[in-house]
Structure 1
Amino acid sequence: MRWIVRLVVLAVIVAAIGLWVTRPKTDDAELLAGLTPDTAHGEQVFIAAGCASCHMAEDADAEDKLVLAGGQPFASPFGTFRAPNISMDPEAGIGDWAAIDLWNALHHGTSPEGQHYYPVLPYGAYIHMAPQDVVDLHAYMQTLPADGTPSQPHEVGFPFNIRASLGGWKLLFLTDDWVMQGDLSPELTRGREIVEGMAHCAECHTPRNALGGLKTGADWMTGAPNPAGRGSFPDLTPPEMSWSEGELVEYFTSGFTPEFDSAGGHMALVVENLSQLSEEDRAAVAAYVKALPLE
């Protein structure tokens, strides 16, 4: 009996250590202290990050896209996730969030209540945002409308509905290391900030392992099946991606391919976002794509 008691005690200790190591992480407000918000830059961050593309109501159009009432479904092998209301309503949305709450959500995947967010919120990419980016984004979002539509629950079954397990997922896959390394030019550095960070391009264009983590190295941006089960996202590395930088910039601007086809599906929303960035930013994204594959 004594060895059974010891085994139970050991299991409890290991479990407690595991819960402590994988607990939701947060930073204190001092991290953002002294930063002056720039609402105009925050709008550019909002556009590059595709916030409205995911959090607008289904079939929203024109100015209604800025009413971030949520509700769009995102199917995956782990269940169907619903984009929450992130409008400025203090009850249904995030109107009562401070800038540090937004930082912790985007950087650590942690809610103001201290719970893990599912990585359908691409904090694995947003972790690359600088503190100033988040402060500016928070300031811009405060200028957007409030909407009282309640967020819809995710449709996720056991065991994926156990949020505590997400701490282990973060321990394995959440890192602020850049994937494209080396002595990069200013243009490539900016392209990396957009592609790997704000625009979270790899979330669609990079294959995943069995636990849903993005594969890096030679697999980075080599295309992936659509988690909703319809088609796939294209490989952005050569020889599959043969467009020139100029052709990529044109695609990001107008949505037209060199073959005079046009962007469709969710990519049409991505192009809509990219087209609102500066031409320099679109050129930086094109430069990043043409610098692939990684060695």
Structure 2
Amino acid sequence: MPCRTGDRSRRPPVLAGGLAFPSDFGTFYAPNISSDATAGIGGWSVEEFASAVTLGVSPTGKHYYPAFPYAAYQHMTPGDLADLFAYMQTLPADATPSLPHDVGFPFNIRRGLGLWKLAFVPEQFVLEAGSPVLERGRYLAEGLAHCAECHTPRNAVGGLDRSAWMAGAPNPSGKGKIPNITPAALDWSEGDLVEYFTSGFTPEYDSAGGEMAEVVENLSQLPRADREAIAAYVKALPAVP
């Protein structure tokens, strides 16, 4: 979870939060989700963790902003949620307080997020999967890896435009654009994609940079079959210019 780690070189990671996410609606800060019982989530139950991750609701009933990608994590299986929670409890505790989000009116009124979820967080997957490999790739790409959070454009109120799924989007930092990875723009083979997910090298012998370098670092730790499933998913996406 590199988004939650201030010093990304530390191993094991310390999920103390603090990383800033600038957006059109203000700046969001990743919270402390270390095992600290007061500043982090060390005092949560697995049920409270599941509610936060898949529903975007805190143990006190407060809606989380969708900068936390619960719209993708809603697809996680109970087993994977329980395993993730158990793993996070083994990581170091850190007492650093979470930073408040810098979000102005009217987006600072969290009550409206319940309506936002009803409108823009459908339960269905996007891609129709006709094989076990595509089902696995869809689960990983649309769920755990939450690829669409960066690669899909958003509407005026921040909802993902599912008609342009994975067709690229402005970089939230304001620098450049997240690329279109549908077959309309990406002509790599499945083998090319698997190699990229493994080593970060493109068919042109360029290499992944920026945030994608960290994504590749994580993807490279998956079983090869999972990287192949994600590659099959990318190749099966509808072409969107």
For Structure 1 versus Structure 2, the TM-score category normalised by the shorter chain is: over 0.9
Match 1:136 to one of 79, 83, 86 = 83
Q: Is the Cα contact below 8 Å between 2:32 and 2:39 reproduced in 1?
A: yes
Q: Is the Cα contact below 8 Å between 2:42 and 2:89 reproduced in 1?
A: yes
Equivalent residue, structure 2, for 1:288: 233
Q: Is the Cα contact below 8 Å between 2:183 and 2:239 reproduced in 1?
A: no
- What per-residue deviation string (whole Å, max 9, x for no partner) do you get for residues 188-224 of structure 1? 000000000000000000011111000113x110000
1:85-124 alignment, distance < 5 Å? 85-124=32-71
Match 2:135 to one of 189, 197, 202 = 189
CA RMSD of aligned residues (A): 1.2
- What per-residue deviation string (whole Å, max 9, x for no partner) do you get for residues 41-84 of structure 1? xxxxxxxxxx2x10001x430405x1001100001100000000
- What per-residue deviation string (whole Å, max 9, x for no partner) do you get for residues 224-256 of structure 1? 001221111000112310110001000000011
- What per-residue deviation string (whole Å, max 9, x for no partner) do you get for residues 124-176 of structure 1? 00000111111111111111110111111111111100000101100101122
Q: Is the Cα contact below 8 Å between 1:122 and 1:203 reproduced in 2?
A: yes
Q: Distance in 2 between matches of 1:63 and 1:162?
A: 37
Equivalent residue, structure 1, for 2:217: 272
Q: Does 1:173 align with 2:150?
A: no
Q: Is the Cα contact below 8 Å between 2:25 and 2:103 reproduced in 1?
A: yes
Structure 2, unaligned runs of 5 or more:
none
Q: Distance in 2 between matches of 1:159 and 1:201?
A: 28
Equivalent residue, structure 1, for 2:154: 208
- What per-residue deviation string (whole Å, max 9, x for no partner) do you get for residues 77-105 of structure 1? 00000000000000110001111111101
Higher RCO by CA contacts (8 Å cutoff, separation 6 or greater): 1
AA aligned opposite 2:190:
E
Task: Indicate the structure with greater helix content.
Answer: 1
Q: Is the Cα contact below 8 Å between 1:180 and 1:294 reproduced in 2?
A: no
Q: Distance in 1 between matches of 2:172 and 2:86?
A: 33
- 195-204 vs 171-180, which moves further: 171-180
Q: Does 1:255 align with 2:197?
A: no
Equivalent residue, structure 2, for 1:61: 9
AA aligned opposite 1:177:
Q
Q: Is the Cα contact below 8 Å between 1:126 and 1:197 reproduced in 2?
A: yes
Of all paired residues, the percent bearing the same amino acid is 62
